[in-house]
Chains A and B, each alone.
Chain A
Amino acid sequence: MKDNDIKRLLYTHLLCIFSIILSVFIPSLFLENFSILETHLTWLCICSGFVTAVNLVLYLVVKPNTSSKRSSLSHKVTRFLKCCIYFLMSCFSFHVIFVLYGAPLIELALETFLFAVILSTFTTVPCLCLLGPNLKAWLRVFSRNGVTSIWENSLQITTISSFVGAWLGALPIPLDWERPWQVWPISCTLGATFGYVAGLVISPLWIYWNRKQLTYKNN
């Protein structure tokens, strides 16, 4: 059962990684002059769309949360709307944090906001898919020993590695190499993407490695 679960986790993660890779290559078939660095904003939108779509599809197909809650249509709709609001809120709060970290307030606001969007895509969207708009559950998952399944565990790891990636991505900005990817916010978005991918790769491996020690409360 457990190995089976880990295998499913691995496949879903591979699909996520694949969607990111697709977002790099597919647009160049349709759009001229597409490249990650030069048309960065387009790529950000596409990538965020791809990742969101894959996450949603995976959520609907795999259904890791085997909650047996009855769900009427209206319930589903409010749930979905709530999710959208949460997503927007997380985008705005990330934007505020970036500004507090020193991103320019007025110029490059679109760039900063899209960075917030992509970071939300990597962090908030999986949370919303898995846990729903339920703040208490979020707090539980992100406290030290609150995880109750490997899905939540991998969620923890990918989220944190995306944050750390974005954080580390800011480091090369002051260097005077004058590379195109040092421009705000490219290094940070790339850092976040690499962090997310790294989290996707690491978490199944880490869970597999520690599968003996991991026991989850069944509740």
Chain B
Amino acid sequence: MRLGSGTFATCCVAIEVLGIAVFLRGFFPAPVRSSARAEHGAEPPAPEPSAGVSSNWTTLPPPLFSKVVIVLIDALRDDFVFGSKGVKFMPYTTYLVEKGASHSFVAEAKPPTVTMPRIKALMTGSLPGFVDVIRNLNSPALLEDSVIRQAKAAGKRIVFYGDETWVKLFPKHFVEYDGTTSFFVSDYTEVDNNVTRHLDKVLKRGDWDILILHYLGLDHIGHISGPNSPLIGQKLSEMDSVLMKIHTSLQSKERETPLPNLLVLCGDHGMSETGSHGASSTEEVNTPLILISSAFERKPGDIRHPKHVQQTDVAATLAIALGLPIPKDSVGSLLFPVVEGRPMREQLRFLHLNTVQLSKLLQENVPSYEKDPGFEQFKMSERLHGNWIRLYLEEKHSEVLFNLGSKVLRQYLDALKTLSLSLSAQVAQYDIYSMMVGTVVVLEVLTLLLLSVPQALRRKAELEVPLSSPGFSLLFYLVILVLSAVHVIVCTSAESSCYFCGLSWLAAGGVMVLASALLCVTVSVLTNVLVGGNTPRKNPVHPSSRWSELDLLILLGTAGHVLSLGASSFVEEEHQTWYFLVNTLCLALSQETYRNYFLGDDGEPPCGLCVEQGHDGATAAWQDGPGCDVLERDKGHGSPSTSEVLRGREKWMVLASPWLILACCRLLRSLNQTGVQWAHRPDLGHWLTSSDHKAELSVLAALSLLIVFVLVQRGCSPVSKAALALGLLGVYCYRAAIGSVRFPWRPDSKDISKGIIEARFVYVFVLGILFTGTKDLLKSQVIAADFKLKTVGLWEIYSGLVLLAALLFRPHNLPVLAFSLLIQTLMTKFIWKPLRHDAAEITVMHYWFGQAFFYFQGNSNNIATVDISAGFVGLDTYVEIPAVLLTAFGTYAGPVLWASHLVHFLSSETRSGSALSHACFCYALICSIPVSTYIVLVTSLRYHLFIWSVFSPKLLYEGMHLLITAAVCVFFTAMDQTRLTQS
């Protein structure tokens, strides 16, 4: 079957998207969560199990403690309390641990050991997976069920002092709070004094049920000078005195209340030997957890090696301690020593509640939950528990009752442990099988694309795809058989849940047929190439068709970028790679222009043999090109091709434009500092957005919008010109309405709205311009004669996108848009047209600039830099689909705008009919090379320390980029089809 290279490339990218989707599904396991959302209100607690007789205890058990104080010390490592440092600097805490009424544990935090996920884990009991970051992108508030939410619902009064993250996570949950920012890491005294200064007052007042204190100082000290700094000791002593103050105050209060109080001391994560955290080393993972209450038994003897528990256990324990339902998504198990002092019936009741909650979670997340050993144990212990209740209700106070009770207890504890483990394992495991399937599909497509490069880039831009070959080949059926066998074996023997096995047989079979068909097609293309390679070339390589240095740069740059994705620093600082490449590209272009205009350039083979080419790798890169009789060939009487056409001013513009572009790039680079290492550096963007420089920002935004208008209007029809002008005015009005810029005649207006009307006003024009563009395109297709109309239509679609981007960009980013248009204009006028690059080179240059602009906008490979506010422009509330689309467009505006400019540029150039197909093919290829390599890299690096903090976000970005590429390729192909029907 013959296919145009554009269509072929689009199909390939579509299949790749499918493969990546399967891979991502395997790589990011779905988080364990309950289907019943927290908003739906509380369901009645599980009644006590009973055999025969119905139990009279169906309500929740009453709270065990009247007041709970949680002292969370950021980056408190276990040895700071239990080790020699603790003995030295925290004498009171050590006394409590060794002699007092307390229980101490080492709570293990799961990576990422960063504050926010750790707070979530402590309060919800769930393991915040990576996907949660995406899910909660629209609101920083925690939507899941948590102890805090349950306490608020039960009417408990919660007071909070400390890290602001809590206030963001639980808005409106605290009756009183004072958030301190963790922004200034160099400050480690003020942050803690801001917490401690409230302490006396609040302890005296006592009109609260839960008091949460989050101290940041220790973490800041760790970041500044590491865990062995002398500052640590001082801070620990300070914390010790805080703890002593709280404890004595709680003890003195206890006489007034019927129930004892509980004091919890914990850390959210540890501290590595360099003082940082985030990864999964032992020092970062182990945190102390000390529960202090007069209700606990005093136990003599010191405990140097406390029991290891999970951090997620805290949520369940707190819920039980406060008489609240356990949070629905919690995977933790109750810390049994806390309830040890209670009567047997209560102990069993608590354990039962916890196991019921865990087994429910298991039922909702694991299809084959009945086979789970934890579930079996749970059923058994529930039965025993029922028997015990019957005996108990029959009032048999005897040895039998106690013995049976302790047996049930042990059963329950075992069940809890197993259930908790198997639930945690759900989150922590990679689904290798799905990942492999995705990788295989993607790699096959990539091989196919690479193999068809020579065919697809021929003048005709068509290629023979042996689609029918699979049907007749034995290989195809054999591969299907093998794959099915593998599928059956893997799926029957899999211990953990596997997404691909969970698919219906039809879908899985479809993917397998696809994979084997791709394999066959690849093999047959390969044989074609090999056989074709043996026959003598019809078209021996012409000397002038040697690779220019630009081609070499493009090739090396692509290869270098792909390889750099294997290093975490290069992923973090990917913007540097692109800036570097784009700069080098500009220098190479400048060299090319100089060569053309000072030395003259013609395609003639070099005269006068000078240096035999072929051995000189590096030299050829730079010294490729012009003929040798350079001196004689001066500017005036050079070759008749280009240098004669362009003279005077235009020539100087051609020579200067690479430098102008370089200067633009340098300016943009200092607009937004991104990445990790240099992200804290001051940049123009921060300077502009600070409230003191509103006037400057307003002028800059207005100027940028003006430039945008001037540059875009030249290709538009009069109607869309007017629409564009009004739309850009609307953009400014919108920014003024939401208060980020201001009008000169209203220098300090205070009324700030959401700017709904203004934004919708702009949307109308965006849609209008896009509609006009589409109409023109359709017309040009129907009338089939008007080439100009098509160019105008494409330009209108492009300008509609520009207008939308102008609306979505933050005002300090508007220069990015203006400069992007400026660079596009310069390149079009003075570089691509005069220098006559071919479609492939132009495509790659567009792609590189698109990537660079992605980072110029302030994006990085970190999820945190996604500008979510773009999703709320012109919307009253969060509406999922438009918000996601707008955010995606706002984030990928750079690449998308460059791609749409590419379409317009290539179709306005009439010189080659197949330019668009070539461009589409190149675009697909150049986008799929990094993504396919990256998934292989990520698979091999899946146990890397930075897999969650660095590589996974990049993987998501790559997946999204491929999706955008697929959309762009579809657009390309659609435009290409119109050309085909015209001709």
Contacts and interface: CB of A to CB of B under 8 A. Distances in A.
B121 interface: no
B666 A143 contact: no
Contacts of A206: 615-616
B677 A174 contact: yes
A144 B662 contact: no
Given A97-B587, A170-B580, A175 B567 contact: yes
Given A100-B583, A210-B615, A175 B569 contact: yes
B567 A147 contact: no
A59 B342 CA distance: 97
Nearest to B606: A145
Nearest to B577: A174
A102 B677 contact: no
Contact of A213 (B611, B618, B669, B677): B611
A100 B663 CA distance: 6
Interface string B623-665: 1111110110000000000000000000000000000001101
Max count, chain B CB within 10 A of own CB: residue among A144, A164, A167 = A144
A146 B626 CA distance: 9
B662 A143 contact: no
A217 B610 contact: yes
A102 B584 contact: no
B619 interface: yes
Contacts of B666: 99-100, 102
Contacts of A143: 595, 599, 623, 625-626, 628, 630
A146 B577 CA distance: 34
A102 B669 contact: yes
B570 interface: yes
A124 interface: no
Give the contact-size bracket for chain B: 35 or more
B598 interface: yes
Nearest to A167: B584
Contact of B611 (A102, A209, A214): A214
B734 interface: no
B693 to A, nearest CB: 19
Nearest to A209: B615
A218 to B, nearest CB: 12
A144 B624 contact: yes
A146 B628 contact: yes
B579 A213 contact: no
Given A144-B625, A160-B619, A213-B611, A102 B569 contact: no
A50 B834 CA distance: 45
Contacts of B615: 206, 209-210
Contacts of A173: 576
Contact count band on A? 35 or more
B326 to A, nearest CB: 41
Nearest to A99: B666
Given A142-B623, A144-B626, A161 B618 contact: yes
Contacts of B624: 144
Nearest to B600: A143
Interface in A92-126: 97, 99-102, 105
B600 to A, nearest CB: 10
Contact of B610 (A136, A161, A164, A215): A215
Contacts of A157: 618-619
A213 B613 CA distance: 10
Contact of B618 (A97, A160, A209): A160
A102 B579 contact: yes
B627 A164 contact: no
Contacts of B609: 215
A156 B623 contact: yes
B627 A145 contact: yes
A107 B624 CA distance: 37
A63 interface: no
A174 B575 CA distance: 10
B622 interface: yes
B389 to A, nearest CB: 60
A147 B626 contact: no
B533 interface: no
B508 to A, nearest CB: 42
A85 to B, nearest CB: 20
Given A100-B665, A145-B628, A147-B611, A174 B587 contact: no
A172 B513 CA distance: 45
Contacts of A97: 587
B569 A139 contact: no
Interface string A151-162: 001001100110
Contacts of B364: none
A7 interface: no
Contacts of A3: none
A176 interface: yes
Nearest to A159: B622
Contacts of B630: 139-140, 143, 146
Given A100-B666, A167-B584, A214-B611, A176 B619 contact: no
A209 B627 CA distance: 24
B897 to A, nearest CB: 23
A194 B570 CA distance: 23
Interface string B662-676: 110110011000010
Interface in A30-66: none
Contacts of B626: 143-144
A25 interface: no
A216 interface: yes
Nearest to B669: A102
A160 B616 CA distance: 12
A101 to B, nearest CB: 5
Contacts of B677: 174, 176
Contacts of A139: 598-599, 630
A65 B599 CA distance: 23
B573 interface: yes
B744 interface: no
B570 A175 contact: yes
Contacts of A167: 584
A178 to B, nearest CB: 10
Contacts of A146: 610, 628, 630
A206 B580 CA distance: 30
Contacts of A164: 618
B611 A174 contact: no
B558 to A, nearest CB: 15
Given A101-B583, A139-B630, A140-B631, A145 B598 contact: no
For B595, B610, B615, B669, the residue with the greatest tally of chain A CB atoms inside 10 Å of its CB is: B610
A18 B595 CA distance: 36
Contacts of B662: 100
A161 to B, nearest CB: 7
Nearest to A173: B576
Nearest to B609: A215
A173 to B, nearest CB: 8
Interface string A163-197: 11001001001111000000000000000000000
B226 to A, nearest CB: 13
A145 B612 CA distance: 10
B569 A174 contact: yes
A136 B570 contact: no
B608 interface: yes
A20 B901 CA distance: 50
A160 to B, nearest CB: 5
Contacts of B628: 143-146
29 contacts: A99-B666, A100-B663, A101-B583, A102-B580, A102-B583, A136-B631, A142-B622, A142-B623, A143-B599, A144-B626, A145-B606, A145-B611, A145-B627, A145-B628, A146-B628, A146-B630, A147-B610, A147-B611, A157-B619, A160-B618, A164-B618, A170-B580, A174-B572, A175-B567, A175-B570, A206-B616, A210-B611, A215-B610, A217-B608
Q: Which 4 A-B pairs have the closest CB atoms?
A: A145-B610, A145-B628, A174-B573, A213-B612
Given A144-B606, A215-B609, 12 more contacts: A100-B583, A102-B583, A139-B630, A140-B630, A143-B599, A143-B623, A143-B630, A144-B624, A146-B630, A161-B618, A163-B622, A217-B608
